[in-house]
Chains A and B, each alone.
Chain A
Amino acid sequence: MNIVACVKQVPDTEALIKVKPDGSGIDEGGIKWVMNPYDEYGVEEALRLKEAKGGEVTIVSVGPARAMETIRTALAMGAEKGVHVSDPLLDNTDAYTTAAALAAVIKGLNPDIIFCGQRAIDDDSGQVGSILAAILGIPQVTIVTKLEMADGKIKAIKPIEGAQLVIESTLPCVITTQKGLNEPRYASLPGIMKAKKKPVDVKNAAALGIATEPKAKVAKMTPPPDRAPGKIIAGDDPAAKAAELVRLLREEAKVI
C-alpha cells in the first residue's frame, strides 16, 4: 500500500511568539520548531497501517529549509522516504497554494490513502487537507479519531457535538487526524540514525509546475493586547474596601 502523510513544521506550543514590528509575520529568532502535533497522529496512523497491511509511507512537507528536520523526525519514526517542497516563493504561503504543492507531489506518488493533521497549530486554518482532497478529486473524512480499513474501504469515526459519526469511504481518500486517534511513537535510536540516510527529494515550485501567487494573504498580524494590570484596593477599613470592590466590579468590570 502507498501511504502518504503530510507534515508541517510549526513553532513549539511553548515557544515565545513575537510579532514582527511591521506586522508581516512572526519573529523566528529563538524559536524551537517541531512537527505539528496533529500531523504526528497522521504519521503514526500511517505507520500503523503500514505495519498491519504492508507498503510504504512517504512524508511530504511544504516549508523552508528547516522543515527538513521535521521530515527526518517522521522518517525516524519509521517512514520510508520524504519529499520536501522548498521554495522561498512558497514561504508562509496560503492554504490553497500549500495544498496545490502537496497535490502536485502526491499525484505522482499514486497513494491509497493520505493523512493530514486536521489543522496546524500555528495558523489554525484547517483547510489544507480539504483543499488537497478537492484538487485530487478524492473523498475526504475530516477530524478522525478512529480508523479501520477492510476490503479496500475505510471506516472512520468522527466526533461531533454529543455524538459520533461513523463514516465509510472508498480509497484513495484524505483523512485529517484529530487528537485521540493514537499515541504517536517515540523514535528509536536506530530509527534516528537510519533516518539520516533515508531518501528525501527536494523540489521547488517550478519543478512541480504550480502557481506560487497565494490566493489569500495575511494582511497584518498583531499581538494580543497586554492584559490590564490588576488593581489593589488600598485602605485600612475592610468595610470601605469591600464597598469599593463592589463598585469597581459593577462599574468598571461590569460583571455584577
Chain B
Amino acid sequence: MTHGGDILKVGNEGREVFWNAPFPTEPILFLFTAIVLAIAAYGVYLRWQMWTAIGKPEDRTDQPKERIRSLIINGLFQVRTFREYYAGIFHSLIFFGFFVLIFGAAVDATQFHIGLPFFHGKFYLWFSLLMEIFGLAVLAGVVMALVRRYVLKPDLLGYQGKPDNTFDDAVVLILIGAIIVTGFIIESLRIYVNYNLDGYTWEVWSFVGFALSHIYTGISYDSVRMAHKVMWWTHSFLTFAFIAYLPWSRLMHIITSPVNQYMKSLKPKGYLEPIRDFETAETFGVGKLEAFTWKQIFDSDACTRCGRCQDGCPAYLSKKPLSPKKLVQDIKTHWEDRVKIVLAARKLAKEKGGEPEIPPPDKALLGDVIDMHELWACTNCMYCMENCPVYVEHVPKIISMRQCKVLMDAEFSPELQLTYRNMENNSNPWGIGGHLRADWAKEIGVKTLAEDPNVEYLFYVGCSGSFDDRGKKVSVAFAKILKAAGVSFGILGTEEGCCGDSAMRGGNEYLYQSLAQANIELMNGYGVKKIICTCPHGYNALKKDYPHFGGNFEVYHHSEILADLIAGGRIRLKKAVSSLCTYHDSCFLGRYNDIYEQPRKVLSAVPGVRMVEMKRNLEKSFCCGAGGGRMWMEEDIGERINDMRTDQAIEAGAETIAVACPFCLTMMADGIKDRAMEEKMKSLDIAEIVWDAMDLEEAQAAPAAPSE
C-alpha cells in the first residue's frame, strides 16, 4: 500500500459531490424529484381520502405529550419491534441504516448547494466511514429479511402453514437492496479513479467502495467513468422509484406505523368504551364496516402483516380459524373494496346532485368477511395487542362485533345463552342458587358487610370463589390468611353479584351493565372504599370498568395484598413447601394490569419453593383458554388451549403450576387430568401455597373429610 502512510495526514480529504456528473444533471434531478414527490403525495392523498371516507368519529389526538412519547419509544427507538429478536434486528438495521443514509444524502445535498465549511478533513473521513457502515447495515438487514421470508419461512409470515407473501414484499426488499448495492458500486467506481489516478489516499475510509474498486484493475479510466455515469443514474432512478412507490406498497407503513403509534389508545389496557345509550340507540355493536370508528379502520390499514400477534395467539396456535393478523387483514381488504364503492357513489352524487346511492355490501362483515368461528374463538387474552409493534387494537373490534351478534341478532352459541340466563337469574354463570353464594365462608366465620360494615377491605369473592369447588378452597385459604394477618375485611355474602366480565367480553354489554350496576349500588351503599379480588377478571372489571358507572374503588388483587403482607412481615412462612413451581401468568393480571412481579415474589418467599419459568411468560405468556367468555363455551375446533399450556408446564419440568386466577386454576387442573399427570403435578393458587406455608392449619389429627 503505497499511500498508506498518508491516511492520517488530515487536510484536503473530501470529494466533489456531483463528481463525473456534469450539467444537466442538476435540473434533471430536480425535475424528477418534483415528479416523484408529486406521485407520492398523490398516493398519500388518495389513501387519505380512503381513511376519512367511512367510520364513526373518535378522538385520538388528546394528550399530545404522551403520544409523542409513544412515538419516540416505539417509532424512533423501535422498542416493541425488538420483542422479536431476529425481526427486531433486521428491521432496526434497515430502519436506522436508512435514517443515517438519508441524513448523509442531506449533508451531501447541502454541501453541493450551500457548501459546508466542515465537509472535508476529519469530518469527511468519519462521515465516509459512517455511511459505509450504515450502508452495510441496511444491506445486511435486507439479506436477513429475505432469508427469513423466503428461506426460514416462519409461520407468522403466513396463515395455517401457507406463506402469505405478496409480490410487493419481494419488490420492496429488492428495491432497498438495489439502492444500497448501486450506491456502493458508484462509490467504488469513483474511488477507482480518484484513488489510483488522482491520488485521493483517504478513500480507504470508504472501505466497502475501496475494496470493490480493486475489481476494476486493468480497466481504462474512461470506461470506468462511463460505467460510473450509468450506475449513478440507475441509483438515482431506483431511489426515485422508491419514493414514488411508497404509498402504493407496504412501504406505506413508513407513514402509517408511526401515525398509528402516535394515535395509540391511552386508556387503561383492555379498556372498552361502554355503551351508554341503551334506551335510544337503534343499533349496538359493529355489524357492518361503517359502524367501526375511523381509527379502527385505520388500524387495519396500518397493520404490517408482521404476524407477531398471531405468533402467540392461543386461538391460532390451537388450530382454530382465528388469527388476529388475518382478522385485521380481512377487515382491510373488505374496507379497500367497500371504500372505493362509497367514494365513487359520492363522486357521482356530487356531479349529478342529490344523495349518494351507496349499494349494500355484497359481503356481510359478520359471516362472510369474519367467520363466526373466528369471532368466537378469541379468549381476549390481549397477546395480540400487547405485542403488535404498531399498536393495532384487535380486542375492542372483536368485542364490538360480538356485541352485534348478541345484542342485535341474538345469534350465539346455546352454551353461552344458558350462561347469560344463569347470570340473569342467579347472578352467576353456573346458575347455582344465589342463596348458596356465601356457603364457603360459613365454617370459617367471615363477617358480611351487613353484619359489620366498618372494615377496611371488602373481599369481593366473585363467582368462582363462591361456587366452584376449587375456587372455594382458594377463598377459604385467602380469608384465613387475611384473618391470621389481622387484616380488617368483610364480604358481601349472598348480596354479592357476578362481576359481569364474561358477559361483557362475550358481547352482552347490557347484561354486564345491569350486573355491574347492582354491585356498585350495593358497594356504594356500604361505603366501600377498598376492595380485594382473588379473580383477575373481577379485579379488572371493578378496577377499570366500574368507574364508568359510578363505582370508584381502590381495587387490589390478592397477589398484591399477599406480596405486601409478606414484605411487611405480617405473615410468616414457616413450613417448607418443597416443589418445583412454575407461575402461569393470568392474562387479566399480567397483560391487562402489568402484575407480573407480585405473584412471583410471593412464591419466591415461600421456603422450599424453587421457581422455573415456562418458555412463554410475562407479556408473551400463553393464555389458559378461559377468558373472553370462552370458559363457558365448547372448545370443539383444534386442540384444547389448556392442554397446550399444561404441556408447556410439563416441558418446563414443573411439579406445581401456580396460578393467581380461578379460571386458570380450573383450566390447568383439567389440563393435568387430560395429560394424566395427576400423580406428578398439581395446580394451586398462590393463596393456597401461602396458607400451607404459614402452617397454621389446626393439626389435622381427625381423618380428613374425603375430598371429591
Question: Measuring CB to CB, which residues of chain A are less than 8 angstroms from any residue of chain B?
Answer: 12, 14-16, 30, 32, 34, 183, 185-193
> In the complex, A32 Cα to B518 Cα: how many Å?
15
Using known A-B contacts A14-B432, A14-B433, A15-B433, determine if residue A188 contacts B426 with beta carbons closer than 8 Å: no
User: Closest Cβ of chain B: how far from A130's Cβ, in Å?
Assistant: 29
Please give, as numbers and ranges, the residues of chain B lying within 8 Å of A189 by CB-CB distance.
278, 284, 407-408, 510
Q: Is A188 a contact of B435 with CB atoms below 8 Å?
A: no
Supply 14 A–B pairs (Cβ within 8 Å), ascending by A: A14-B431, A15-B433, A30-B435, A32-B426, A186-B417, A186-B420, A188-B407, A188-B410, A189-B510, A190-B282, A190-B407, A190-B408, A191-B410, A193-B279
Q: Given A32-B426, A188-B409, A192-B510, 14 more contacts at CB 8 Å?
A: A12-B426, A14-B431, A14-B434, A30-B435, A32-B425, A32-B434, A186-B406, A186-B420, A187-B410, A188-B407, A189-B278, A189-B510, A190-B284, A193-B278
> In the complex, A187 Cα to B407 Cα: how many Å?
8
Please give, as numbers and ranges, the residues of chain A lying within 8 Å of B282 by CB-CB distance.
190
Q: Is B412 a contact of A12 with CB atoms below 8 Å?
A: no
Q: Is A14 a contact of B426 with CB atoms below 8 Å?
A: yes
Q: Is B425 a contact of A34 with CB atoms below 8 Å?
A: yes
Interface size class of B (residues with CB under 8 A): 20 to 34
User: Closest Cβ of chain B: how far from A240's Cβ, in Å?
Assistant: 16
> In the complex, A183 Cα to B421 Cα: how many Å?
13
Please give, as numbers and ranges, the residues of chain B lying within 8 Å of A193 by CB-CB distance.
278-279
Please give, as numbers and ranges, the residues of chain A lying within 8 Å of B417 by CB-CB distance.
186
Using known A-B contacts A183-B414, A192-B510, determine if residue A12 contacts B408 with beta carbons closer than 8 Å: no
Q: Is B433 a contact of A188 with CB atoms below 8 Å?
A: no
Segment 409-432 of B: residues with Cβ below 8 Å from A? 409-410, 412, 414, 417, 420-421, 425-426, 431-432
> In the complex, A193 Cα to B278 Cα: how many Å?
8
Please give, as numbers and ranges, the residues of chain A lying within 8 Å of B432 by CB-CB distance.
14
Please give, as numbers and ranges, the residues of chain B lying within 8 Å of A187 by CB-CB distance.
410
Please give, as numbers and ranges, the residues of chain B lying within 8 Å of A15 by CB-CB distance.
433, 435
Please give, as numbers and ranges, the residues of chain B lying within 8 Å of A16 by CB-CB distance.
433, 435
User: Closest Cβ of chain A: how far from B104's Cβ, in Å?
Assistant: 60
Please give, as numbers and ranges, the residues of chain A lying within 8 Å of B284 by CB-CB distance.
189-190
User: Closest Cβ of chain B: how far from A36's Cβ, in Å?
Assistant: 13
Q: Is B410 a contact of A185 with CB atoms below 8 Å?
A: yes
User: Closest chain B residue to A30 by CB distance?
Assistant: B435
User: Closest Cβ of chain B: how far from A35's Cβ, in Å?
Assistant: 10
Please give, as numbers and ranges, the residues of chain A lying within 8 Å of B420 by CB-CB distance.
186
User: Closest chain A residue to B412 by CB distance?
Assistant: A186
User: Closest Cβ of chain B: how far from A196's Cβ, in Å?
Assistant: 9
User: Closest chain A residue to B430 by CB distance?
Assistant: A14
> In the complex, A188 Cα to B411 Cα: how many Å?
9
Please give, as numbers and ranges, the residues of chain A lying within 8 Å of B279 by CB-CB distance.
193
Q: Is A186 a contact of B410 with CB atoms below 8 Å?
A: yes
Please give, as numbers and ranges, the residues of chain B lying within 8 Å of A34 by CB-CB distance.
425
Q: Is A12 a contact of B425 with CB atoms below 8 Å?
A: yes
Please give, as numbers and ranges, the residues of chain B lying within 8 Å of A192 by CB-CB distance.
510
> In the complex, A16 Cα to B494 Cα: how many Å?
12
Q: Is A14 a contact of B510 with CB atoms below 8 Å?
A: no
User: Closest Cβ of chain A: how far from B505's Cβ, in Å?
Assistant: 17
User: Closest Cβ of chain A: how far from B492's Cβ, in Å?
Assistant: 15
> In the complex, A18 Cα to B136 Cα: how many Å?
83
Please give, as numbers and ranges, the residues of chain B lying within 8 Å of A12 by CB-CB distance.
425-426, 433
> In the complex, A187 Cα to B431 Cα: how many Å?
18
Please give, as numbers and ranges, the residues of chain A lying within 8 Å of B425 by CB-CB distance.
12, 14, 32, 34
User: Closest chain B residue to A188 by CB distance?
Assistant: B410
User: Closest Cβ of chain B: how far from A170's Cβ, in Å?
Assistant: 34
For the complex of A and B, list the 10 residue pairs with the smallest distance between their C-beta atoms, beginning with the closest.
A14-B433, A189-B407, A188-B410, A16-B435, A186-B410, A186-B417, A12-B425, A32-B425, A189-B510, A14-B426
